[in-house]
Amino acid sequence: MSTDWFQTSRLTQFRELLERSDVALVLTAMAAFYLLFLGIGAILNYDVAGLISILGQVTFFTAVYALIVLALNLHWGYAGLFNIGIAGFMAVGVYTMAMLTAPPTGSPPGLGLPVVVGVVGGMLAAALVGLVTALPALRLRADYLAIVTVAISEIIRLTYNSPAFSTFTLPGGIALGTGGASGIGTFPSNPIQAVYYVDPSSAASGATPIGAAIFGFFEAVFGVVRSAVIVDLTYGLVLAVVVFLVYTLLARVGNSPFGRVLKAIQEDEVVAKSLGKDTNRFKIKTFMLGCALMGLAGVLWQGFGTGAVYPQAFRPELTFYIFIAVIIGGAGSNTGSVLGGAVFANLLFLLPQYLPNIIEQTFSIQADPNNFIAAVGPIAAGEIAPLLGYILNQRLPALRFVFVGVLLIYLMQNRPEGLLGHRTETAAAVDLSEGHTPGGRTGSDLTAPDERGVDDE
């Protein structure tokens, strides 16, 4: 009996920690996801390199989703701008970066500038396109803004897709290009490769001293010799640091006078205006900052992550993925954004990719019919395997979309504020509300809520 009581009390303590500390919440969630995917790797009999690779994937997708969701949260959660053109702004960032840095001799040719120039240029370009969008669009109602932004994102994608700009010459005689429908394949290599390899574009060129030390460490401790796996894991960890930096930046912005005006606009725009705040300027600046971060996310995700850029990657589906992640996390909360991104990336994006392998290994399903009638026909004869085979081998990606859609409907009907949307942001730096009792505490605990009001992003 006494150990039971002890455990429950530990559990309560832990829950209170999670409610109080954002960092603990995020770390616990990530630990759970790592464990889940290590378990999946174990079921699928992966070797150590495979396990590290799966961990690298989890880190990468969690980080990129967290990053882009944070950027969208700045638009939607902070400034109340319903932007559904995210894919377009990501495309501007990554395409600008690719066109600035691709070698002039490549096909399509680029300007051959250093990677840093490319990244900054990509962010600036995305911010500029954001400005061009925001200047007129902010006059519009929320639903019109939605339609305009999705139209702009499609215009951007179709422009990159068009053969008209696949290669063109600037007035100074410098050739440049978007590559049309096939995109740009000569994307600068992942910066981690530049640190680990002598020649960044080839693993065969041999390792730099840093690379040799890291590879040696992994070989000695885990017996892993595939260096690509280690590069990916390192890149994922670097991205996690980037997410942390962006999170800190946004937390600072949110708590600065600028952020307080944003929160005031959220509460009541007329009041903010009557206090002499030029609310449109604030919104435009926020929109541009969010767009720059979307450009950065585009570079880090579609660019360095994939190693090539092509227009089809920026279909509106990508935008809606990110929106669903924001809604899961609850708009307006930065921690919620990171968690929403993590939940979406791991449970809705990565997990379904491993699910068929696990089920097939467990139940050994051989049937693989290529159309629906062939799949359901045998059910009359009592055979369910063809249907399962059809679902698992042919149509799982489609069903994932269906599930995502149904989830979105469910959230809108039951929790429009998001799974973690109960976390409130107060406009004042000090909590002024009476009887402010977060997490079901009693009013007697008066000191903690104040701290919470400040930390709570």
Partner 1 sequence: MEPYARGRQLLNDQPGLAIVAVAALLLVGDLFAKLLGGGLTATRFGGFVWDGLVIGLLIGLAGIGLSLTYSILGFANFAHGDYISWGAFSGWAVAYLLAGIDRYAAGGLLLIGAGDGPAPGDVGVSITNTPLSIVAGLVVAVGFTIGVSLLIDRAVYRPIRDADGITLLIASIGVAFALRYLIVFFFYSGRQGVTDISRVPAYEIGGVVINAHELTIVVIALVLMIGVHLLLQRSKLGKAMRAMADNRDLAQVTGIPVEGVIRTTWILGGGLAGAAGYLVVLTQGTIAYDLGWLLLLLIFAAVIMGGIGSVYGAIVGGLVIGLASRLSLIWLTGDLSSFAEPVAFGLMIFVLLFRPEGIFGGVSTA
Interacting residues toward partner 1 by CB under 8 A: 82, 136-137, 139-144, 146-148, 150-152, 154-155, 158-159, 161-164, 166, 320, 323, 327, 369-374, 377, 395, 398-402, 404-409, 412-413, 416
Q: Which residues contact 350 (CB under 8 A, 6 or more apart)?
A: 37, 57, 58, 61
Cβ of residue 81: shortest distance to partner 1, in angstroms? 11
Cβ of residue 348: shortest distance to partner 1, in angstroms? 12
Q: Are 79 and 287 in contact (CB under 8 A)?
A: yes
Cβ of residue 295: shortest distance to partner 1, in angstroms? 21
Beta bridge partner(s), residue 175: 169
Cβ of residue 85: shortest distance to partner 1, in angstroms? 11
- Closer CB to partner 1, 191 or 377, in the complex: 377
- Closer CB to partner 1, 60 or 89, in the complex: 89
Residue at 92: amino acid letter: V
- What is d(CA 81, CA 134) in angstroms, rounded to the nearest whole number? 10
Residue for token digits 């920690």?
17
Does residue 363 sit in helix, strand or coil?
A: helix
The HSE-up count of residue 108 (CA atoms within 13 Å, CB side) is 27
Cβ of residue 166: shortest distance to partner 1, in angstroms? 8
- Closer CB to partner 1, 98 or 324, in the complex: 324
Beta bridge partner(s), residue 176: 168
Per DSSP, 334 falls in state H
- Closer CB to partner 1, 242 or 374, in the complex: 374
What is the secondary structure of 132-186 as a DSSP string?
HHHHHHTTS-HHHHHHHHHHHHHHHHHHHH-GGGSSEE-TTS-EE---GGG-B--
- Closer CB to partner 1, 217 or 401, in the complex: 401
The C-alpha angle 378, 380, 381, rounded to 5 degrees, equals: 65
- Closer CB to partner 1, 84 or 94, in the complex: 84
Cβ of residue 95: shortest distance to partner 1, in angstroms? 16
- Closer CB to partner 1, 82 or 349, in the complex: 82
Cβ of residue 39: shortest distance to partner 1, in angstroms? 28
- The candidate with the shortest Cα–Cα distance to 438, out of 73, 10, 16, is 16
